Amino acid sequence: MDRRNFLKMSAAATTLVAGSGVFLSACRRDLRSELMGSDHTPGGHAMEPLDKNGYKILYYASLAPSGHNSQPWFVKINSRLDWVIGSNLARCLKTVDDRNRETLLSLGAFVENLVQAAGKFGYAVETKVIAKDRFDPDVVKIHLSKSKAKDISLQRMVMRRTVKSHLQSKELRSSDVNDFSKSVDGHLFYFPRGTDHADFMNKAAVKNYMIQADNKKAREELAFWIRLKDSEAKKFRDGLTPDGMEITGLAGWYVRHFMDHKDVMTQAFNDKGIEKTREQVKEGAGWLVITSVGNTVKDLIETGRRFQRMALTARGKMIGIHPMTQTLEEKNGQKSIKENHGAGVMPQFMLRVGYLNKYPDPVSLRRPVQWFVRI
Ligand SMILES: Cc1cc2nc3c(=O)[nH]c(=O)nc-3n(C[C@H](O)[C@H](O)[C@H](O)COP(=O)(O)O)c2cc1C
C-alpha cells in the first residue's frame, strides 16, 4: 500500500471507528433504486418502432436472473410487435459454461418474464425457438398480439432475487413442493436437508466450488464480472456487486473502498469464497433439482422459463432460492448428479432452498432497455 492509499485508509478507518457496522449498512445507498428507479417511468419510454408498452415489457423481462448477472441477452426489434431474443455471445461465460447451457437457461428466464409482463399489459405472446444450435445468436422469435389483460403480479418480478443466506432448515411443506412442481410441469426433485441425497449435494457443491477456485481461467472469468466499486457498477449495470455477493455491512464497505480486481485473484479471496460456500450449505431446507428430458436449445429455453416461474412462485411464498451451479459446470460433478437420476433425465438447476423470516430487497443491477435493444 502506498502512502496515499495508507492515508486514505486511515481516514476511512477513523470514520469507521466513529460509526458502527450497523450504522454503515443503514446508511448504504440503495444503488439499485438509485440507478434503476428512473429506467422505468410509469409511462415507459418509446424508442420507435418499440412503443411504451413494449419498452415496459422488456424492462420487466430484464429483471430475469442470469449466471454472474452477465445478462447475456439482446433484443432485435423488427417491428412494434415482432422481436427476436438473442444471446449476446460476448456476455457468455465461456469458461464455466463452455456449452452455452446457462446462457440459454437465462434467456429462458428472460422470455418467461417477458411473456408474463406482456400478459399484464394486454398482449398474448407467441414464442418460437429459431436457434439452430446453442451458439446461434438469434434464439427465440416473439410475436405479440392484443389480448385481454391478465391478472399477473409485476411486483413479484421486481421483488424476486437470489437469496444465499438466512435460509431456514425447516423442511418445505408438501403443498409448497407441489406448487413448485406444478410451476415446472413436474420436472422437479426435492431432497430435504439430512437426506443422503442432500448431504451428497452439499459435499458436491463445496468440492466443485473448490475445483473452480483452483482454476485460474474460471477465477479470471469471475473477476471479469465482479463490480467492486460503485463507479464500476454504475458504468456497467451488470455483474456481481458486493451487495449481490451478500458481502454487506463493514465487509462490504471495506471491499468497495479498498479492494480491486487483483485482490479477487488472490488466495485470500479464494479462501473466503470457499469458507462462505461451506457456511451456505449448512443452511436451508435442502435442495431442489430442476430437470429436463433433453438438452436441445428448446429444452433449455423451456427449462429456464420453468425455473423463473418457480422462482416467482417462491417469492410469493417467502422462500429463498440459491442456484449453485458449479457442480453442473464441472464434468465429474455433472456425472455424479446425473447418476442420482434415471436415464434420460438431465439435471439443469441445483437450487438451495429455504423459508425466510424476511425476504431481502433485491440489489443486483440491470442494464437499461436501450442498452440491449437493437433497432
Ligand atoms: C443459470 C444460472 C446459474 C446461476 N448460478 C449461480 C451460482 O452458481 N451461484 C450463485 O450464487 N448464483 C447463481 N445464479 C444467480 C445469479 O448470480 C443471479 O441471478 C444474478 O446475480 C442476478 O441476481 P438476482 O437473481 O438477485 O436478480 C445463477 C443464475 C442463473 C440464471
- The enclosing domain of 69 has a CATH number of 3.40.109.10
Written as one letter, the residue type at 265 is M
Q: Give per-residue pLDDT as tens, 325-342.
A: 999 999 888 888 878 777
**Closest CA to ligand 1's atom 21:** 69
**Same-domain status, 188 and 143:** no
**Same-domain status, 223 and 347:** yes
Q: Is the CB of 105 under 6 A from ligand 1?
A: yes
| Cα(252)–Cα(289) distance, integer angstroms | 31
Mutate which of 31, 32, 248, 325 for ligand 1? The one with the most ligand atoms within 8 Å of its CB, which is: 325
Q: Is the CB of 297 under 6 A from ligand 1?
A: no
Give the pLDDT band of residue 42 (cuts 50, 70, 90): low
Q: Give residue 27's pLDDT.
A: 54
Q: Is the CB of 161 under 6 A from ligand 1?
A: yes
The count of domains in the chain is: 2
**Closest CA to ligand 1's atom 4:** 67
Residue 1, in any domain of the structure? no
Q: Is the CB of 97 under 6 A from ligand 1?
A: no
Measured in Å, residue 202 CA sits from the centre of ligand 1 at: 17
**Same-domain status, 104 and 235:** no
Mutate which of 66, 91, 227 for ligand 1? The one with the most ligand atoms within 8 Å of its CB, which is: 66
Which domain range does residue 314 map to? 174-355
Lookup: cell for 301:
429455453
Q: Is the CB of 183 under 6 A from ligand 1?
A: no
Residue 273, in any domain of the structure? yes
**Same-domain status, 120 and 210:** no
The residue count of the chain comes to 375
Q: Give residue 12's pLDDT.
A: 45
Nearest to 141 by CA among 73, 79, 84: 84
C-alpha distances in Å from residue 167, one per residue of 154, 285, 354: 24, 7, 4
Give the pLDDT band of residue 23 (cuts 50, 70, 90): very low
Q: Give residue 228's pLDDT.
A: 95
**Same-domain status, 220 and 147:** no
Q: Is the CB of 77 under 6 A from ligand 1?
A: no
Q: Is the CB of 244 under 6 A from ligand 1?
A: yes
Q: Is the CB of 66 under 6 A from ligand 1?
A: yes
Q: Is the CB of 362 under 6 A from ligand 1?
A: yes
Measured in Å, residue 66 CA sits from the centre of ligand 1 at: 5
Q: Give residue 1's pLDDT.
A: 41
Measured in Å, residue 144 CA sits from the centre of ligand 1 at: 28
* Under 8 Å between Cβ of 135 and 100: yes
Q: Give per-residue pLDDT as tens, 69-117.
A: 999 999 999 999 999 999 999 999 999 999 999 999 999 999 999 999 9
Residue 27, in any domain of the structure? no
Kindly tell me the sign of the dihedral angle through the C-alpha atoms of 23, 27, 33, 37: positive
Residue 197, in any domain of the structure? yes
**Same-domain status, 300 and 209:** yes
Q: Is the CB of 320 under 6 A from ligand 1?
A: no
User: Of all residues in the chain, what percent carry a pLDDT higher than 70?
Assistant: 91
**Same-domain status, 102 and 151:** yes
**Same-domain status, 222 and 79:** no
**Same-domain status, 182 and 250:** yes
Residue 166, in any domain of the structure? no
Q: Is the CB of 315 under 6 A from ligand 1?
A: no
Q: Give residue 9's pLDDT.
A: 45
Which conformational region is residue 239 in: left (phi greater than 0), alpha (psi within -120 to 50 degrees), or beta?
left
Q: Is the CB of 323 under 6 A from ligand 1?
A: yes
Whether residue 153 is predicted with pLDDT greater than 80 in this model: the reply is: yes
Q: Give per-residue pLDDT as tens, 234-270.
A: 999 999 999 999 999 999 999 999 998 889 899 999 9
> What's the whole-number average pLDDT of the chain?
91
Contacts for 77 with CB less than 8 Å, ≥ 6 apart: 47, 49, 50, 54, 83, 373, 374, 375
| Cα(152)–Cα(120) distance, integer angstroms | 6
